[in-house]
């Protein structure tokens, strides 16, 4: 291999780092009206000038380090349960006024969720918020994601094949914009036992459990032949199931409410805009995952330890904005180096059938997970509300677990939401800038 030769003039002048203490000429200027300054002349005659407050902030004492970390990362966290008083601001005020925008993002960081009211009931409002922050996060499902409850008897296209008892039942159409075929044209099947579905189950008219949204293919659900309504665990098309030639009430679905990074982690900040809401049902349910983790740690330290030390497999395979096949491992509860909870990774719909642990650790894990889920499902920790058209909720997807109650599908689109995602680094960047502007009155 040929060596690279540099001209002397191109070589970087990087003297060896001196680890031993050196005698320096240090002077302090206390005549400055606003601050002290420290002047240092090094042995090689290099001259440095520092403000004393700048040096003090970077002191290695525990108190100084804690103060600086608080200033940089705003770690204050306000836990809540069913008693939550959700912070609420006006959508247009947030777009136009820095002080309102600062309240929005600071409340998001502290409480984990903020509701904005007064947005227009049309597409594109989420994009305005994205520009207010900086930019939205591009996912495998595009930069924004739609959830709509479609009218009965229409099939929405899917890239996947759906089978019931190994027989084709659902027809796939290429025209996403205007599906034409009615479910009456589907093949009747007498003995419906299970439904093989693909891609996530975030949007349906059935009840959605509380979870942080990830995506998962090939789940299944038991469907009784006598049931008037069939609710598959997940689907990416609107489908009507047929029993002995009788059309059942359809399971309404369009896009998944989720996205995946290359490591299949749930995205940091989620934005949801309600464009149209169903009259009955469809209430949202949220849980403060950090609060539940704290309770679990107090109630059952061993369960907390298992969930915060066991890596769990997640998977997502499908086609949307692009085709994707993602695998990752995460702990259900992630901790920082001080043992504080910083992130929840939970969604049964995306947890893989693969579980890479010794068999003797399987049952203890599921026992711990059940206790965690039982706490999340209790009324004490669950806050329920209903979004109205024009409402936008923005929440911390590392902290909150969220779901929705079931609703009845009508003869036309009955529920319409648009969602998007943002990276916490982008959000925190805007928050620091807004804090400085508000502080300085700019």
Looking at residue 325, what is its pLDDT? Answer: 85
Q: What is the mean pLDDT of residues 185-197?
A: 34
217 within domain boundaries:
yes
**What is the tally of structural domains in the chain?**
1
For the segment 99-124, what is each residue's pLDDT rounded down to a tens digit? Answer: 999 999 999 999 999 999 999 999 88
Report the predicted TM-score, pTM, of the whole model to 2 decimal places: 0.69
Token pair in block for residue 149: 């409850």
**Would you say residue 293 has pLDDT above 70?**
yes
Residue 396 has pLDDT above 60, yes or no: yes
pLDDT band at 140 (very low <50, low <70, confident <90, very high): low
Q: So what's the pLDDT on residue 413?
A: 59
Q: Are 426 and 420 in contact (CB under 8 A)?
A: no
For residue 114 the two structure tokens come to 């903020």
Structure tokens at 93: 């005020």
* pLDDT of the residue at 268: 85
- If one compares 220 and 413, the residue with the highest pLDDT of the two is 413
Is 151 or 44 the better-scoring residue by pLDDT?
Answer: 44
231 within some domain: yes
pLDDT at position 207, please? 45
For the chain, the average pLDDT equals 73
Residue 320 lies in a domain: no
Position 172 in a domain: yes
CB contact at 8 A, 234 and 216: yes
In a domain, 420, yes or no: yes
42 domain-assigned: no
Name the one residue in this structure whose structure tokens are 């995506």. 215
The predicted-structure confidence for 335-351, as pLDDT tens digits, reads as follows: 999 999 999 999 888 89
- State the pLDDT at residue 15: 60
Res 169: pLDDT: 35
Task: With beta carbons less than 8 A apart as the criterion, state whether 347 and 266 touch.
Answer: yes
Q: Which of 4, 48, 94, 54 is nearest to 391 (CA)?
A: 94
pLDDT at 216 over 90: no
Query: In which band, very low, low, confident or very high, does the pLDDT at 245 lie, cut at 50, 70 and 90?
Result: very low
Q: What is the 3-state secondary structure (H, E, C) of the chain?
A: CCCCCCCHHHCCCCCCCCCCCCCCEEEEECCCCCCCEEEEECCCCCEEEEEHHHHHHCCCCHHHHHHHHHHHHCCCCCCCCCCCCCCEEEHHHHHHCHHHHHHHHHHHHHHCEEEEECCCCCCCHHHHHHHHHCCCCCECCECCEEEECCCCCECCCCCCCCEECCEECCCCCCCCCCCCCEHHHCCCECCCCEEECCCCCCCCCCCEEEECCCCCCCCEEECCCCCCECCCCCCCCCECCEECCEECECECCCCCCCCCCCCCCCCCEEEEEEEECCCCECCEEEEEHHHHHHHHHHHCHHHHHHHCCCEEEEEEEEECCCEEEEEEEEECEEECCCCCEEEECCCCCCECCCCCCCHHHHHHHHHHHHHHHHHHHCCCCEEEECCCCCCEEEEECCCEEEEECCECCCCCCCCEEEEEEECHHHHHHHHHHHHHHHHHCC
The most confident of 246-255, 263-272, 290-299, by mean pLDDT: 290-299
| pLDDT classification of 16: cutoffs 50, 70, 90 | low
CATH number at residue 170: 3.60.130.10
Nearest CA to 230 out of 215, 217, 247 is that of 247
Per-residue pLDDT for 166 more than 70?
no
Asked if residue 11 belongs to a domain, the reply is no
In a domain, 414, yes or no: yes
Range of the domain at 201: 88-287+368-440
- Comparing 79 with 180, which gets the higher pLDDT? 79
Q: Which of 26-35, 70-79, 177-186 comes out lowest in average pLDDT?
A: 177-186
């Amino acid at each position: 291999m040929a060596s690279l030769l540099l001209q002397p003039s191109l070589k970087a002048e990087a003297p060896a780092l001196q680890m031993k203490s050196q005698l320096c000429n240090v002077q302090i200027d206390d005549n400055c009206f606003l601050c002290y300054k420290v002047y240092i002349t090094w042995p090689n005659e290099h001259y440095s000038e520092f403000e004393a407050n700048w040096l003090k902030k970077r002191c290695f004492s525990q108190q100084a380090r804690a103060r600086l970390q608080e200033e940089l990362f705003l770690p204050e966290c306000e836990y809540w349960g069913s008693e939550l008083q959700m912070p609420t601001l006006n959508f247009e005020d947030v777009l136009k006024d820095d002080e309102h925008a600062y309240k929005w993002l600071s409340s998001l960081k502290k409480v984990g969720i903020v509701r904005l009211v007064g947005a227009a009931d049309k597409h594109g409002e989420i994009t305005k918020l994205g520009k207010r922050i900086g930019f939205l996060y591009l996912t495998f499902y595009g930069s924004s994601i739609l959830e709509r409850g479609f009218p009965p008897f229409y099939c929405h296209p899917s890239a996947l094949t759906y089978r019931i008892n190994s027989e084709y039942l659902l027809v796939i159409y290429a025209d996403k914009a205007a599906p034409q075929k009615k479910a009456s044209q589907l093949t009747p099947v007498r003995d419906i036992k299970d439904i093989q579905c693909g891609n996530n189950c975030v949007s349906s008219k059935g009840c959605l459990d509380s979870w942080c949204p990830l995506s998962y293919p090939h789940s299944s659900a038991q469907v009784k032949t006598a049931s008037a309504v069939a609710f598959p665990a997940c689907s990416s098309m609107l489908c009507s199931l047929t029993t002995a030639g009788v059309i059942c009430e359809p399971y309404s679905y369009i896009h998944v409410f989720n996205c995946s990074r290359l490591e299949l982690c749930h995205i940091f900040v989620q934005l949801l805009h309600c464009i149209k809401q169903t009259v009955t049902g469809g209430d949202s349910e949220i849980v403060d995952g950090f609060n539940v983790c704290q309770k679990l740690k107090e109630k059952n330290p061993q369960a907390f330890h298992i969930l915060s030390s066991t890596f769990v497999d997640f998977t997502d395979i499908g086609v949307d904005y692009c085709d994707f096949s993602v695998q990752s491992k995460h702990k259900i509860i992630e901790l920082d180096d001080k043992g504080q909870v910083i992130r929840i990774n939970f969604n049964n719909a995306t947890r893989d059938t693969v579980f890479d642990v010794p068999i003797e650790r399987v049952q203890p894990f599921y026992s711990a997970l059940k206790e965690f889920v039982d706490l999340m499902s209790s009324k004490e920790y669950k806050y329920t509300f209903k979004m109205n058209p024009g409402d936008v909720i923005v929440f911390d997807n590392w902290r909150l677990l969220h779901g929705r109650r079931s609703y009845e599908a009508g003869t036309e689109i009955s529920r319409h939401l648009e969602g998007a995602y943002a990276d916490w680094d982008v959000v925190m960047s805007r928050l620091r800038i807004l804090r400085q502007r508000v502080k300085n009155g700019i």
